[in-house]
Amino acid sequence: MADITDIKAIMYTEKSLALQESGVIVVQTSPRMTKNGLKEVFREFFGINPLRVNSMRVNGKVKRFKGIEGKRPDTKKFYVLLPEDAKIESLAV
């Protein structure tokens, strides 16, 4: 079962801001989130039924700090197409 706590961030990059003008929001989530789970979260918490959801798995980079190797966490990135009349107030830039 999906939960709103699985959503880590709304992406605000140059590419994602250009996509927001055409109604697409980029969301970064935990790797266990599914497309249907994200649709359910949008319906339940935002009251919006997404038209389309595309997903992309992002593997964490391996980094070194003072000779000790570590790994950033894996995430998933979702591109959510919203209906034309739908607006999320908290996402206004």
* Mean predicted confidence (pLDDT) in 3-21: 89
Q: What share of the chain is helix, strand, coil (3-state, %, to 5)?
A: 25, 35, 40
Domain spanning 4-85: which CATH class is it, in words?
alpha beta
Cα–Cα distance measured from residue 23 to residue 59, given in angstroms and rounded to the nearest whole number: 26
Q: What percent of the chain has pLDDT over 90?
A: 61
- Provide the residue type at 32 as one letter: R
Q: How confident is the model at residue 47 (pLDDT cuts 50, 70, 90)?
A: confident
More confidently predicted of 92 and 72? 72
Q: What is the mean pLDDT of the chain?
A: 89
pLDDT at 84: 85
Q: What's this model's pTM, rounded to 2 decimal places? A: 0.83
